[in-house]
C-alpha cells in the first residue's frame, strides 16, 4: 500500500487542481446533498468540490494519514476518513467524485461498476485518471527500473467505461484532455512525478539505490524533455474523464 506524502504531492498545486475543476464543470448536478471525494489526498479536489457545492455535506476519504491531516487543515468544515477507494461503502452519496485515484486500483472497471450500481436515482459518479503510461515521464520509469515494476492499472478505451457503467447509468460522458504544463527545467518533471508516479518505484529501495535510481531517471528525463530556446519546457499530461449518472 502506497502512503503518499502531501508536501511532495502539492508542489504543483495549481496544475493538479485544474482537472478537478474541469471534471466538476461537466457534472449534471446542481446541488447534491452528500458528496464523497474518493482518494481526496491533501484536499485539493475537496476544496474545489466545496467551492462548487457550498451547501453540501462533503466527506473525503484516503488511505494516507499524512494526506488526511493535510486535507483537514485545508478544509476544516469537511469530514475526512481513512478508507480505500476500492472497497469503501459509497451508498448514500449523491455524488461520488474521484480525481486521480482509480488508475492505482486493480480491476478498476469492476470497482467503478460497483460504485455506479450503488448510486441513488439521479446520483452521479465523476472520475479523472492520468492516462500517461506511454508518455516519456512514465515510460522512462520502467526503463530505468529494468522492467514493469510499479506499473499501474492500464487505462481502458472509451468503450470499456461505457460498457461497465451503462447500465445502470443512463448518461455517460467520456473525454480525454492533454494538459501541457510549462515548466522551467527537467528537474521540475522529476519533482512532479516524485509526488505520485515515482512512489511505487522509489518506496521499495534503500537510500543508496533510491539516489542511484533518481540520478539515472533525471538524466533520461533531461534527454526526453529539452528546454526550448525561450526557457520553457513543455510537459504533456493526458488524462481520461468519466461522468456517469443514474436516471
For the segment 160-205, what is each residue's pLDDT rounded down to a tens digit?
A: 999 999 999 999 999 999 999 999 999 999 999 987 888 889 888 9
Nearest-angstrom CA–CA distance, 60 and 39: 7
Burial class of residue 178 in the structure, from the number of CB atoms within 10 Å of its CB (0-12 exposed, 13-18 middle, 19+ buried): exposed
Taking residues 113-141, report their average pLDDT: 96
Task: Give every CB contact of residue 208 below 8 A, 6+ residues apart in sequence.
Answer: none
What was the pLDDT predicted at 1?
41
Nearest in space to 181 (alpha carbons), one of 11, 43, 45, 38: 11
Q: How confident is the model at residue 47 (pLDDT cuts 50, 70, 90)?
A: very high
Q: What is the pLDDT of residues 65-90, one digit of tens each?
A: 999 999 999 999 999 999 999 999 99
What was the pLDDT predicted at 17?
87
Q: How confident is the model at residue 208 (pLDDT cuts 50, 70, 90)?
A: very high
Mean pLDDT over the full length of the chain:
92
What was the pLDDT predicted at 16?
81
Nearest-angstrom CA–CA distance, 35 and 92: 9
CATH superfamily of 6-245: Vaccinia Virus protein VP39 (3.40.50.150)
- Cell numbers found for residue 195: 509526488
Q: Is residue 220 pLDDT above 90, yes or no?
A: yes
Record the pTM: 0.90
Please, are residues 196 and 137 in contact by the beta-carbon 8 Å criterion? Answer: no
Count how many Cα atoms sit within 13 Å of the Cα of residue 67 in the half-sphere of its side chain: 27
Taking residues 84-102, report their average pLDDT: 95
Q: Is residue 216 pLDDT above 90, yes or no?
A: yes
Nearest-angstrom CA–CA distance, 82 and 120: 23
Amino acid at each position: 500500500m502506497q502512503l503518499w506524502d502531501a508536501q511532495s504531492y502539492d508542489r504543483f498545486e495549481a496544475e493538479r487542481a485544474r482537472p478537478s475543476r474541469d471534471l466538476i464543470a461537466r457534472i449534471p448536478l446542481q446541488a447534491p446533498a452528500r458528496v464523497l471525494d474518493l482518494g481526496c489526498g491533501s484536499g485539493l479536489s475537496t476544496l474545489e468540490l466545496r467551492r462548487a457545492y457550498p451547501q453540501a455535506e462533503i466527506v473525503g476519504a484516503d488511505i494516507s494519514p499524512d494526506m488526511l491531516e493535510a486535507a483537514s487543515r485545508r478544509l476544516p468544515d469537511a469530514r475526512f476518513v481513512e478508507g480505500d477507494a476500492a472497497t469503501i461503502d459509497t451508498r448514500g452519496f449523491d455524488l461520488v467524485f474521484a480525481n486521480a485515484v482509480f488508475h492505482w486500483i486493480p480491476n478498476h472497471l469492476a470497482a467503478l461498476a460497483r460504485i455506479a450500481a450503488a448510486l441513488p436515482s439521479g446520483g452521479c459518479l465523476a472520475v479523472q485518471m492520468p492516462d500517461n503510461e506511454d508518455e516519456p515521464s512514465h515510460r522512462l520509469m520502467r526503463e530505468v527500473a529494468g522492467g514493469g515494476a510499479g506499473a499501474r492499472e492500464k487505462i481502458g478505451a472509451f468503450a470499456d467505461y461505457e460498457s461497465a457503467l451503462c447500465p445502470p447509468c443512463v448518461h455517460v460522458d467520456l473525454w480525454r484532455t492533454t494538459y501541457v504544463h510549462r515548466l522551467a527545467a527537467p528537474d521540475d518533471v522529476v519533482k512532479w512525478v516524485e509526488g505520485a508516479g515515482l512512489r511505487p518505484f522509489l518506496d521499495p529501495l534503500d537510500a543508496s539505490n533510491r539516489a542511484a535510481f533518481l540520478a539515472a531517471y533525471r538524466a533520461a528525463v533531461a534527454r526526453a524533455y529539452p528546454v526550448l530556446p525561450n526557457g520553457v519546457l513543455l510537459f504533456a499530461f493526458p488524462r481520461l474523464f468519466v461522468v456517469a449518472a443514474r436516471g
